[in-house]
Amino acid sequence: METENRTIKIAIAEDQSIFRNGLTKLLNDIDGFEVVLAVENGQLLIEALPAISVDLALIDFRMPVKNGIEATKEVREKFPEIKVLLLSMYDDVEFVESAIENGANGYLSKDDDAEEIQLAIKSAVETGYYLNDRTSKMFIAKMVHSGKIQPVFEVGSGNIFNENELVILELICNEMTTQEIAEKLFKSRRTIESARTLMMSKVGARNVVGLVMYAIQSITKRNSFEFAQLPSN
């Protein structure tokens, strides 16, 4: 979904009023974002969604009445077109794994800055997923090698990556962050993000884990790839 020339409509469910109000102001001050709903728990979010147009919901993990996981599950069931980012102070792979397994499109730490929040929202709306760099490094290593998440590819997909994409894929497999890849290749972060999105589209992968699995399964014969650097079981 292209977001350059449209307003992304956002709903917030967060029980702490100071954080909720601050986040609302921050997002409304960003060009192209509009907070259309800000409520104090997941139940109020679910009740309000049928009457408004929302592209993405920011849902706090810990809330009274209906918590973040419960609200996320219900949003996925009743409003599958709405993307969900879970908010939490937790920043470990187990929490992120639980969030995604329960339908979230990604995760945001409450410590993240405005630039990271803006990037997360746009990424979730445009690509259907978002994992911050620090979490991706842990998540990819664990999920790929445990086999807990299997990527889904489109039937008949078999597009070949070009040389630049193969280099980026190799660096992703070696657990480099988006920023690290951009610096190594002397490219902008946005250029790397765009390339990654296109690569996922080519193979029908829903997330970065899908790209890594594709690389391991389909391109291991390419001599320039060094998978030995990936952690083993």
Indicate the number of domains in the chain: 2
Final residue belonging to a domain, choices 130, 154, 173: 130
R_g (Cα) of the chain, nearest Å: 18
For residue 2, tell me if it sits in a domain: no
Q: Are residues 99 and 159 in the same domain?
A: no
Q: Are residues 76 and 155 in the same domain?
A: no
pLDDT digits (tens, 9 = 90+) for 79-124: 999 999 998 886 666 777 777 778 888 888 888 888 888 988 988 8
Q: Are residues 31 and 110 in the same domain?
A: yes
Residues of the chain with pLDDT under 70: 1-5, 90-93, 132-160, 206-207, 210, 213-233
Q: Domain containing 61 — which CATH number?
A: 3.40.50.2300
Q: Which of 46, 123, 135, 55 is nearest to 95 (CA)?
A: 135
Q: What pLDDT is attached to residue 221?
A: 38
Q: Are residues 191 and 165 in the same domain?
A: yes
For residue 135, tell me if it sits in a domain: no
Q: Are residues 111 and 214 in the same domain?
A: no
Final residue belonging to a domain, choices 130, 159, 175: 130
Q: What pLDDT is attached to residue 4?
A: 57
Q: What pLDDT is attached to residue 138?
A: 65
AA identity, residue 151: P
Q: How far apart are CA 178 and CA 157, in angstroms?
A: 25
Q: Are residues 117 and 219 in the same domain?
A: no
Please state the pTM of the whole predicted model. 0.65
Q: Are residues 12 and 119 in the same domain?
A: yes
Q: What pLDDT is attached to residue 164?
A: 87
Give residue 27's domain range.
Answer: 8-130
